[in-house]
Structure 1
Amino acid sequence: MTANYLIGLREGLEATLVVVLLMAYLLKTGRQHLLPRLWAGVGFAVAVSAGFGALLTFGPRGLTFEAQEAIGGSLSVVAVALVTWMVFWMARTARTLGTGLRSQVDRAAGGAGWGLAAVAALAVGREGLETALFLWAAAQATGQSATPLFGALLGLATAVLLGFLLHRGVLKINLGAFFTWSGAALIIIAGGVLAYAVHDFQEAGILPGLHSLAFDVSAAIPPSSWYGTLLKGTLNFSPATTWLEAAAWLLYVPAVLFLYLRSNRRARASSRPDTAARATVAAS
């Protein structure tokens, strides 16, 4: 549940900050009448994301086992690719997020203001679709459904609360540090999802080596034990891991983590470190 809580918190906070920035800019520029358009866009994005999550959950049923595994593996790879892109995108653009949103509002606020609803829907919907896909992939990897959903909803609720406190000026947090370390944690979680995608492809018969194990520590870490469940839920750790699963994890996590941390260092070197945090709080 911890991993899914982090996913919900991270993605939810990104979406919430977008809404907070849009609300603050509308209020400061005397465009309060456009707030209903903003919330209409947010509501549409939430509905589409929930529908997408339901489609992922119930869509593959009725297919053969091999087809379900192939679809699950493919969607897990897509989820990993989206999360990887997202954390690098946030590392590059977090410090200019407020400026970019304000320029979009200025362009979209003409007429009846429905362009603003589109801006909100696209900004929040992108995060929502990424969250739905990655949570589904994480639930497939852990073999659970209700627990990941509960953890994610708890994370989303925390994100909304933090956004409200930021908007009211009650809370000030270093958003740069939060996104840096939560991004690093998501990369490690994504490595587990990628390894399980390889396992899905092996069970579908697309990749070989299903019974060729790199290690099997099931005796020391039983999957049904509390610590086995904890490792599975947080890191997608499998006590019985094939060589291809281990290779996928080792090729992805160290390399992507190194590039991500280097990208963050370069971003901090090219701008003041707390610009994003100060801009977010000042905008509210």
Structure 2
Amino acid sequence: MLVPFLIMLREGIEAALIVGIVASYLKQTGRGEWMPAVWVGILLAIALSLFVGAGLQMVSAEFPQKAQEFFEAIVGLVAVIVLSSMVFWMRKAARSIKSELHHSIDSAFSHSTGQAPALIAMVFFAVAREGLESVFFLLAIFQQSTNSDAPLGALLGILVSIVVGYGIYMGGIRLNLRRFFFWTGLFILVVAAGILAGTLRHFHEAGVWNSLQTIVIDLSGILPVSSPLGTLLSGMFGYQDMPTLGEIIVYVAFLSISIFMFLRPAGSRTTAAQPSH
């Protein structure tokens, strides 16, 4: 429950910040009457996300066992890629997202016709990105969850993010967004490592991956995954009571590389990207 809550809280606050920036800029520039177009873009993005999520869930239910394992592995892989790219993108774009949105709004109004469709499209793509990220993450989490707490946690995360986002927009809530996105970013990378290890397990059960299947340690007698604590650790960090060598390698390698890249100072990343003379 905690994992989907925190992820949806973060995703929801990101979406709320985007909408808040757009709404504030429209109001500041005397374009407040265009807010209905913003809401149309938001509703279309939500509808697309729900449609994609429901469609994928319905399609997967018709698969035979091995095909379903393969599908779940693909969903997990996509979720890891999306979550990781979202974390790094947000860290990089946090400082410039406001100016970029302002520029996009000005571009939408730069033409004498088609302003409403342009504004709707801009908001739609900005919010749909957050929605589709959430869809793949939630599918991966729901597939690994053994109880019904995950959907409830996701719903609570969305509701709290709406309240926090509105409070930020109105000025009643002050949140250190830089610190918030930093710590939730680290948490997401840990979650993604667990999903990636689970993805390897699904590939094995689908008959696609059969290497490195030696069980490294058997903790089923000490902390079984079916126990309350084991279920909690499994949902949060992808814990398994009998992890294989491949799962441990994937987990440790991904976590080490991603956290190293995440914690690198911005100056080091910029310097590394510049060619030497």
TM-score (norm 1): 0.90
Give 1:133's aligned amino acid.
F
Q: CA deviation at 1:71?
A: 1.3
Question: Alpha carbons of 1:264 and 1:136: their partners in 2 closer, same or farther (altered >3 Å)?
Answer: farther
CA contact (8 A) 2:146 2:231 kept: no
Query: Tell me, which stretches of 5 or more residues in structure 1 are unaligned?
Result: 269-284
Match of residue 257 from structure 2: 255
Counterpart CA distance in 2 for 1:223 and 1:62 is 28
- Counterpart position of 2:118: 115
2:76 alignment counterpart? 76
2:216 counterpart SS class:
strand
Query: What whole-Å deviation, never above 9, does each CA across 1:91-117 have from its counterpart, x for those lacking one?
Result: 111011100000000111343422111
> What secondary structure does 1:43 align onto?
helix
Query: Are the structure 2 counterparts of residues 266 and 117 from structure 1 closer, same or farther at C-alpha, using a change threshold of 3 Å?
Result: farther
Worse-matched range after superposition: 67-76 or 99-108 = 67-76
Give the secondary-structure state (helix, strand or coil) at the position aligned to 1:221. Answer: coil
CA separation of 1:267 and 1:24: change in aligned 2, threshold 3 A: farther
1:87-236 equivalence runs, <5 A: 87-109=87-109, 110=111, 111=113, 112-144=115-147, 146-209=148-211, 212-236=214-238
Q: What RMSD over aligned residues (CA atoms) do the two structures have, in Å?
A: 1.8
Amino acid paired to 1:183: G
| Counterpart for residue 247 of structure 2 | 245
User: Could you tell me the percent identity over the aligned residues?
Assistant: 34
The structural deviation recorded for 1:62 is 2.1
Q: Aligned to 1:95, what secondary structure does the other structure show?
A: coil
1:146-203 CA distance string (max 9 Å, x none): 3211111111111111110011111111111111111110000000000000000000
* Cα contact 1:191–1:252 (8 A) shared by 2: yes
Paired residues of 1:26 and 1:32 also in contact (CA < 8 A): yes
Alpha-carbon distance in structure 2 between the residues aligned to 1:44 and 1:214: 48
Query: Structure 1, residues 86-144: CA drift from partner, whole Å, max 9, x if none?
Result: 11111111011100000000111343422111111100000100111011111212344
| Cα distance in 1 between the residues matched to 2:42 and 2:269 | 30
Is the contact between residue 11 and residue 134 of structure 2 (CA under 8 Å) also seen in structure 1? yes
| Local SS of the residue matching 1:212 | coil
The TM-score, its normalising length taken from structure 2, stands at 0.92
Q: Which runs of 5+ in 2 are unaligned?
A: 271-277
Contact 2:219 2:241 in 1 (8 A): yes
Report how many aligned residue pairs link the two structures. 268
Q: Distance in 2 between matches of 1:18 and 1:238?
A: 38
Instruction: Return structure 1 stretches of 4+ with deviation > 3 angstroms.
Output: 263-268
Residue 21 of structure 1 deviates from its aligned partner by 0.4
